[in-house]
Homo-oligomer: A and B are copies of this chain.
Amino acid sequence: MSIPPRAPGGFPVVGIIGGGQLARMCAGPAAELGVTLAVLAEAPDVSAALVTPFAPVGDHTDVATVREFASHCDVITFDHEHVPAEVIDALLADGVAVHPGPAALLHAQDKLVMRAALTEAGVPCPRWAAASSEQDVIAFADELGWPVVVKTPRGGYDGKGVLLAERIDDVREWLAAAAERGEQLLLEQRVPFVRELSVLLARSPSGQAAAWPVVETVQTDGVCTEVIAPAPGLDAQAASAATVIGLDIAAALEVTGVMAVELFELEDGSVVVNELAMRPHNSGHWSMDGAVTGQFEQHLRAVLDLPLGSPRAREPWTVMGNVLGGEPTDLYPTYRHLMARDPELKVHMYGKSVRPGRKIGHVNVSGSDLDDLRERARHAADYIQGVITE
């Protein structure tokens, strides 16, 4: 492994483990801040490696590899939540600054741990239980009714690792698989929510925190497809209550860096926590163009323990549309067309090859006419995906 180029003036090197689009989107802000980015990449051509001069390829589960990578960096952070605890512990034993730390990270890695910690902290959650047996599931369903939401505590994302069980037969296979892994399953009450919200915030090691406006997220088949910032019609009191939940969680779990708290909004206007992410998050991509400080700049500032930037929205509304892979693979002519159609569109591509359903980019558009913005973001995303052709 060579040595990353260091800018003069005492500016630090931020090492990111994992070379996906979240690491990639730190590259622009890092260049602006004068901070050097280093990426431990899965392969030479992953998303972030294409835009980062120092991106050695290495296995993030191998202690020696990660330790060597970290020896070139002033702080270590993550593109994903899959770095094993023993790797992080080895870094901490070396005296490396790691943000978020392993205690915080565990709550994103293990949903049972997360539920227990949130309940302990008094944060509103759906009713939940751990299940090792059919009896556990039946007891839960007897109390709260079918269907029951069943989750694997580890490794799920974008709707994977989640099962909506209508009857006990649906759960048997998952129970057996969990038992084989030596795990329990997480059971959750199916909450009759009216929509999904997300609180995005950053917290620094010094304990400073800053939250962006609460957004509405729209999922299609378990994958986030649209984010509206701020959440339409959310009154100030409800927005404030949701933000306080986010800040409480960040403080209770000692989160450092950017964190997302995904919420279900219930009919009475109250909220319960759905999921946590201990990193920049899809629900914060709007901030790259719509806020004074975007989430990737803020993440860098937070993990470096720099003062946080203003999360103020620059325009009344920003709508983000996720671009998913579809039939077309030759994307460049497609986005040329979109740029011609809508000069206000901010197109973000991740340098990833197209696979159906894969997140390969997103678009942001800001202004004052929300219906118009939603139509335009949706059109752009659908057009790149090939769902529509004009």
Residues of A within 8 A of B (CB): 5, 7-12, 24-25, 27-34, 36-37, 44-45, 49-53, 55, 210, 288-289, 292-293, 301, 306-310, 312, 314-315, 329-333, 335-336, 339-340, 343-354, 361, 366
Q: A33-B349, A343-B308 are in contact. Are A11 and B366 (CB under 8 A)?
A: no
What's the minimum C-beta distance from A143 to chain B, rounded to whole angstroms?
47
Residue pair B24, A31 in contact (C-beta under 8 Å) = yes
> A308 contacts which chain B residues (CB < 8 A)?
339, 343
- Bound Cα distance A44, B3 (Å): 13
Residue pair B301, A339 in contact (C-beta under 8 Å) = yes
Residue pair B307, A336 in contact (C-beta under 8 Å) = yes
> A9 contacts which chain B residues (CB < 8 A)?
329-332, 349, 353-354
Q: A5-B45, A347-B33 are in contact. Are A332 and B11 (CB under 8 A)?
A: yes
- Bound Cα distance A353, B7 (Å): 8
Other-chain contact of A5, B11, B27, B29, B50 (Cβ < 8 Å): B50
- Bound Cα distance A44, B7 (Å): 11
Other-chain contact of A53, B52, B310, B332, B347 (Cβ < 8 Å): B52
Residue pair A314, B366 in contact (C-beta under 8 Å) = yes
Other-chain contact of A12, B32, B329, B332, B354 (Cβ < 8 Å): B332
Task: Indicate how many identical chains form the complex.
Answer: 2
Residue pair B307, A339 in contact (C-beta under 8 Å) = yes
Residue pair A8, B309 in contact (C-beta under 8 Å) = no
> A351 contacts which chain B residues (CB < 8 A)?
7-8, 11, 31, 34
Residue pair A8, B353 in contact (C-beta under 8 Å) = yes
In this complex, the member of A24, A53, A315 whose beta carbon has the largest number of chain B beta carbons within 10 angstroms is A53
Contacts A/B (CB < 8 Å), 28 sampled: A5-B45, A5-B50, A8-B329, A8-B352, A9-B330, A9-B332, A9-B353, A12-B332, A24-B31, A25-B31, A27-B31, A31-B50, A32-B349, A33-B348, A33-B349, A34-B335, A34-B361, A37-B51, A50-B53, A292-B346, A292-B366, A301-B339, A306-B336, A309-B343, A309-B344, A309-B345, A314-B314, A314-B366
Residue on B nearest A293 in the bound complex, by CB? B343
What's the minimum C-beta distance from A128 to chain B, rounded to whole angstroms?
37
- Bound Cα distance A346, B28 (Å): 13
Residue pair A344, B292 in contact (C-beta under 8 Å) = yes
> A11 contacts which chain B residues (CB < 8 A)?
331-332, 349, 351
Residue pair B8, A310 in contact (C-beta under 8 Å) = no
User: Would you list the 5 A-B pairs with minimal beta carbon distance, nearest first?
Assistant: A28-B28, A34-B349, A10-B332, A9-B331, A7-B351
Residue on B nearest A28 in the bound complex, by CB? B28
Q: A307-B336, A352-B8, A353-B8 are in contact. Are A30 and B51 (CB under 8 A)?
A: yes
Residue on B nearest A34 in the bound complex, by CB? B349
Other-chain contact of A50, B36, B55, B314, B344 (Cβ < 8 Å): B36
